[in-house]
Chains A and B, each alone.
Chain A
């Protein structure tokens, strides 16, 4: 995990973001959201949270309470690709639990955790699999979101095909990000 040190957002950037939102209601959330966006691994490392806490005069324990309350915030590095499986009631009755397990298997993960808010990331940091309570797409259940795009009426075969594609194109996409920098 030697890339972690390079993903700590610099103090200047944090200052800039804080300056933008300061004194607006709920600005702690906006600040944390933008800082997470700026992080190439889309997460909030402990060091970053400590810096923000010190600058905003918010106790560490409280800022930790905020980031663990909202599932939007990540405390671990996220993969290049994000797969979000809907675990709402409608999707559940249409077999979303099995879809989640199959994704796990296809990445060689041993997804035993019953916790519905679990997320896991592959060792090579290519994929993060998360769940969500509901996408509001119940009519098309079960649904899975891959890199921001919603796939509906999924079954195992369709899902595996999508994952194959992502895996294949994933590395191209990755290199294109590198180029665009």
Chain B
């Protein structure tokens, strides 16, 4: 189809929007509400263009191209309209950019700069001041900074089908709110944080523990251990100015060491441990006619989702704790014993691509190390500690690097500390959708068949398709498995289970699109193209690991020989497994 953009004839595909058509010829039309694959509310009025013959300016995000259309994207009328629309948004937006979490990474701020806005001509029209919502353990909402673009509502309702937030009120009172404005902490919000990824301003951010972690690092009485989730190493580089999906494991370790953490450990180690427990749990369920399909339990957003919306199906969830929590429990028991460090002095900090991990770390039942030591050390309740003390997001770690003036890109590559920093490629791929499934299959296959796996790569569970299926032959036993990411897809598989028509034996569910590498705590922006790049880096790290199967990790073997004894054993039961709560809605 032939159209004319800024006096230049252009050939474009039929059925696309004016915005998409312009992008094909290198014209980027700004928008604060439109987000590909996420939302098209056409509420911000920034993407307007002039179309010959149309009475008013048109919103390019929702206007389809027509044959012979003549479009102007930067005429004086267009530029003036965009400017006025942004100025009107700014009239009700706080002018405290310097103190904002999103300073220098804010779509509204950059757009105001791009459009050359130099004065605030309009006065505030909103009469009320909306209070901040600090009820959640993971996220903070500041409705004052909200520009009502509706992206957060779109991800929460459509991509995640959680519906924790929606528009409420009318006119100047319009706001994004939870039921009765009770706050996220009082709703069935799963803390996935996808809303914080798509927010164009600082209206939704993670609850930060950076200050507390600095204090712990500089407390001479504390031994501060840090664990890094698999997906952080493919995200943190971006936040430090490197290309999307940069694989920066070694630099990240070096940087953490320079921040002053006592030991730099790896959540990948705990991921290998999770596989040992989970693969054995799966085999036990298969052999002893247990509840099937078994569903993975690494993603805390998914856990809370299941507790709210599918309380009757909780027996399908693996009882394995997530790697973050397994790490905390092992660090404060096994590692404390081996090194003779008083567990009360150990502070476990985790860096996660995730906001829900903050909530998970504070679940009241996640204090098994405390109970392990309670009798041995005669601990009083006042000395209570959690297995994981602080969970930071990738973004928070980037802030710490910046605060300490570390020149991240030029750091040398360093190795993790022993023993909790030793991991396999199976641990690495936990960071991508399908990875936990693949890692579990590598171990389950070899344990069940007693044969060595020729090709460790299960390509059928890789890729960004919403729900992936595969059939695996385990020594004559054929099992069907499924992998889902986003809670909308999880809901589909759970409804199958509820209706008794699920054909699967083993199911992996990740809350966020793309798996952890697309998590709510990752650098902004995170979109589908960036997710693909991060996934490629994860698989590259796996490919180059000497050991690619969890059960071959020598430190895991040592841990079982000298402490845990065997998978699903007595100690595992107390330290590595958990239970779930029926929350309902």
Contact = CB atoms under 8 A, between A and B. Distances in A.
18 contacts: A59-B166, A60-B585, A61-B165, A61-B168, A62-B166, A63-B179, A64-B168, A64-B177, A64-B178, A64-B180, A65-B166, A68-B168, A68-B169, A68-B170, A71-B170, A75-B180, A114-B127, A115-B128
Nearest to B182: A46
B179 A64 contact: yes
Contacts of B127: 114-115
A60 B179 contact: yes
Contacts, number: 50
Nearest to B169: A68
A69 interface: yes
Contacts of A164: none
Nearest to B173: A117
A21 to B, nearest CB: 22
B557 interface: no
Interface in B129-179: 157, 163-171, 173, 177-179
Given A46-B180, A114-B127, A115-B127, A60 B170 contact: no
Nearest to A114: B127
- State the 6 A-B residue pairs at the shortest beta-carbon distance, nearest first: A59-B163, A61-B166, A60-B179, A68-B168, A65-B166, A65-B168
Contacts of A63: 179
A65 B178 CA distance: 9
B43 interface: no
Interface residues of B, number: 19
Interface in B94-110: none
B177 A69 contact: no
Contacts of B171: 117
A114 B168 CA distance: 19
A68 B165 CA distance: 14
Contacts of B585: 54, 60
B163 A69 contact: no
B169 A61 contact: no
A71 B168 CA distance: 12
B305 to A, nearest CB: 14
A49 B168 CA distance: 15
Given A68-B169, A69-B170, 14 more contacts: A59-B157, A59-B163, A60-B178, A60-B179, A61-B163, A61-B168, A64-B179, A68-B168, A68-B170, A69-B168, A114-B127, A115-B173, A117-B171, A117-B173
B92 to A, nearest CB: 15
B173 A61 contact: no
B310 to A, nearest CB: 15
